[in-house]
Amino acid sequence: MRRASQTTYALLAYLVLIPPADATTLTIVSWGGAYEASQNEAYFKPFTSKTGTSIKTLTYNGGIDQLRKQVESNNVEWDLIDLVVADNIEACESGLLQAIDHTLLPPSPDGIPASEDFLPDTLTPCGVGQVVSATVLAFNDAAFPGTKPSSIRDLFNTQQFPGKRGLQKKPIAVLEWALLSYGVPIKDIYALLSTERGLRLAFAKLDQIKPHIIWWENGDEPAQLLADKKVVMSSGYNGRFFSTAINQQLPIEIIWQGQLLNYSTWGIPVGAPNPLKAKEFIHFATDTQRLADQASHIAYGPVRRSSARQVRKHLASGTDIRPHLPTYEPHLKYAIKKDHQWYARTQSRINNRFTQWLAEP
């Protein structure tokens, strides 16, 4: 009898080590760095703990070219991809993403349907939003012992604020900022950029600082460029600047005037290996509590109103996170709301124009 009991216990111990029958691995494509670290704490670890599903992450720098190649070759390796809204819209209209039924998303704790709780434009036919981020201009305070930069116009003022500028090697934000520096009202920026005159004005303004630019491509680079004093100011993502300033105790200051608001969304590729598990993850990761949890790890605003009401402190530092969010009310007054439809329509043409400009002497 004792030997039988020992055998039974051994068998039970062995069975505990076997993952559940529906356990699998989700391959999720994200952006790396402090941003992905916040997702890991708020979403990935809790989801694995709850379901037994492991998460494998891959890092990319945006765009839909890799997604298109996988779908068109019928060799899709990704289950979920973190896309900015414009890319999500373009990928959806190109037949690269699966449609998502938003009625299945969890309501807020007080019963408000997801369709009303999510901010406008954060639910797309093939996407579900997660955070509000912003491309901002930041500077190293130590580089300017006297007068400090205070507006987007100072990006182009190399006489009063000399030194290298870090800019993303894409037309995103810099075209809007070029027109804003002329004094073009925010409400008129995209209408003017839709004209040849507007593009000529924008690139003429960029010509003025072209010799002073250090181009970056990975989201972690701008803060490091400032930390290493390779540039005196740089465009970049507000959450990355905040994390670097806090973690490395660096005097990085953000200029909120002209911040370009953007949304990150989850999308499921057509032909994804585990679409049902991917939908289960989205349902889990976009409830009120999870979105509020992410904002406690990085300075990006949650896309649900019910989540925003729960956000208070940055867990690692104890700092009140609210004044560091792009959705903080005083910051919104001079924000540029990125026109996602404009980008989805014109992305290829504008990118080609930007590439041609880069190649010019």
336 and 317 in one domain? no
The alpha carbon of residue 200 and the mean position of all alpha carbons in its chain are separated, in whole angstroms, by 29
% of the chain with per-residue pLDDT over 90? 85
140 and 51 in one domain? no
Round to whole Å and give the CA distance between 61 and 45: 23
209 and 347 in one domain? yes
Say what the pLDDT of residue 117 is: 96
| CA distances, 347 to each of 191, 243, 341 (Å) | 15, 30, 10
| Total domain count, the chain | 2
* Owning domain of residue 194: 133-261+332-359
Say what the pLDDT of residue 20 is: 39
pLDDT in tens, 83-119: 999 999 999 999 999 999 999 999 999 999 999 999 9
CATH of the domain at 114: 3.40.190.10
301 and 235 in one domain? no
167 and 288 in one domain? no
Confidence (pTM): 0.83
Q: At CB < 8 A and 24+ separation, what contacts does 17-24 make?
A: 19/52, 20/51, 20/52, 22/51, 22/52, 22/277, 23/51, 23/52, 23/53, 23/54, 24/53, 24/54, 24/274, 24/277
256 and 175 in one domain? yes
58 and 8 in one domain? yes
293 and 191 in one domain? no
138 and 184 in one domain? yes
pLDDT in tens, 211-256: 999 999 999 999 999 999 999 999 999 999 999 999 889 999 999 9
17 and 162 in one domain? no
Round to whole Å and give the CA distance between 103 and 227: 45
The one-letter code for the residue type at 18 is I
342 and 193 in one domain? yes
128 and 10 in one domain? yes
